[in-house]
Amino acid sequence: MMRDPSSVAIGIVMPLMLILLFGYGVSLDVRSVPVAIVLEQPSPQSRAVAESFILSPYFDPRIMTSLPAAESLMARRDVDGIVRIRQDFTRGLQSGNAQIQLLLYGADANRARIILAYAQGAIAQWEAQQTNPNVPVVVGPVLVNTRMWFNEANDSHYFLVPGLIVLIMTLIGAFLTTMVMAREWERGTLEALFVTPVKSDEILLGKTVPYFIMGLIGLALTFLGAEFLFHVPFRGSIIVLTGASVLYLLIALGIGLLISSWVKNQLAASQLTMVATYLPAMMLSGFLFDLRSMPQAVRVIASIFPARYFVSLLQTVFLAGNIWPVILPNSAIMIGVIVVLLLLALLATRKRLA
């Protein structure tokens, strides 16, 4: 295995690359958004509004005086939003019906929505600071105090980086195993091994052990990256983390063995593994997109794939601690999947030899 540089590429380079890419490249947090602030008639009040955008860490504003100029900036995607303070703003404040217009670049919907919330926050900030007695300041009456448990800093790396473990294990366990085994089947070298006195179960075991070890190395790398590069809190116990990871790794290996014993062709096997393991681990596991955002039918589909249970467990062990009511059911489901998979894989291998 080590003779082939491409296996090493998947086993070692890939986890490192994923950690760095996800850690530094992927962030759902919105910071310093370029916006244009259009002051159609500069006045102390409208400047104060602009000031609250300038002070906010979320915005990187440009002050302008005409709307068409700002609109052409947005058409070129140089700014993600326009805050328009109209000519009659100051007058409107006195009569109690001032309006601030927000134009958002909606083609990235999620970002636009976050920007909207931050902009409303900046305007609320300005309102709260208004000390002019002529302008009645209305706050509330009901105020919402929000507390985010487990992730007080509101840092998306806290859930993205632990979630990487599921991707890495899927790649090593399922994808790499499938590729290697499909190749051996294609070339007939596996049949050659089976005629030796070694038992077929032992051969399968021998073939998968290196990938099992590589998977554990991937786990260790991700864990170290999470702790020392991105300072993700780890509130559970390492034993639980390792145990759960071993379970998922066994599942990935089982799927890999199974697919490679069904599909002879390397290209087809790799495609099938992608669709059956990698994509669900990325899209349907709750790693990137929360399951609660999906319609019922898709959630049912998602619950077929074991990645979903592992992600739930990972996020809990890292951020919340050893919460047994979450850990136990998820582990039980994974153990059930392992038993079924290994039985199927053994059956499939034997049948194919016969």
What does the alpha-carbon distance between residue 309 and residue 286 come to, in Å, rounded to a whole number? 9
Which of residues 274 and 346 has its CB atom nearest to another protein in the complex? 274
Is residue 117 a contact residue for another protein (CB under 8 A)? Answer: yes
Minimum Å gap between C-beta 18 and another protein is 7
Report the distance separating Cα 324 and Cα 42, nearest Å.
Answer: 59
> Residues 22 to 81: which contact another protein by CB under 8 A?
22, 24-31, 34, 74-76
Task: Give the C-alpha separation, 332 to 200, whole Å.
Answer: 28
| x/- map, 143-172, another protein, by CB under 8 A | xxxxxxxxxx-xxx-xx-------------
Across 254-281, b (16+ Cβ under 10 Å) vs e yields bbbbbbbbbbeebeebbebbeebbbebb
Burial 321-351 (b: 16+ CB within 10 A, else e): beeeebbeebbebbeebbeebbebbbebbee
Q: Of 195 and 267, which has the nearer Cβ to another protein?
A: 267
**What whole-number distance in Å separates Cα of residue 138 and Cα of residue 128?**
8
The bridge status of strand 81-85 relative to strand 59-64 is unpaired
Tell me the number of residues near another protein by CB under 8 A: 112
Out of 105, 223, 248, 309, which residue is the one contacting another protein (CB under 8 A)? 105
Give the whole-angstrom CA distance, residue 143 versus residue 203.
65
Q: Which of positions 169-198 make contact with another protein (CB under 8 A)?
A: 175-176, 179-180, 183
Could you tell me the smallest distance in angstroms from the CB atom of residue 353 to another protein?
A: 22
Stretch that binds another protein, among 205-213, 222-230, 297-305, 344-352 (CB under 8 A): 297-305
Between 87 and 271, CB nearer to another protein: 271
Pick out residues in 298-317 that bind another protein (CB under 8 A): 298, 301-302, 312, 315-316
